[in-house]
Amino acid sequence: MKLLKTLLSKRNRRSSRKTKKNQKHTKISKNISVWFKNSKRIFVVGIILAVFLFLLGYSLFVGYEVAQLN
């Protein structure tokens, strides 16, 4: 009987640990979805990415032109 109780308590501990992990995961995914729902942030991130990609492309183009002149 005592062995059965210990086995059951161990199983309960394991399951509670699993639910804690699942709760953490859902919390993270909820935070991400809230972050992306905010359209202003997406707009700002999009502008920053566009500027960064433009500067990268422009610097590559200028580097190519300078290399051709030499």
Task: Specify the pLDDT at position 43.
Answer: 86
Residue, of 62 and 11, whose pLDDT is higher: 62
Task: Specify the pLDDT at position 48.
Answer: 96
**Mean pLDDT along residues 56-67:** 92
Instruction: Tell me: pLDDT of 50 over 90.
Output: yes
pTM for the model: 0.41
Domain boundaries, the chain: 1-37, 38-70
| CA–CA gap between residue 47 and residue 27 (Å, rounded) | 28
6-32, pLDDT tens digit by residue? 666 665 666 556 666 666 666 777 777
| CA–CA gap between residue 51 and residue 29 (Å, rounded) | 28
| CA–CA gap between residue 64 and residue 23 (Å, rounded) | 52
Q: At 31, is the secondary structure helix, strand, or coil?
A: helix
Distances (CA, A) of 22 to 9, 14, 17: 20, 13, 9
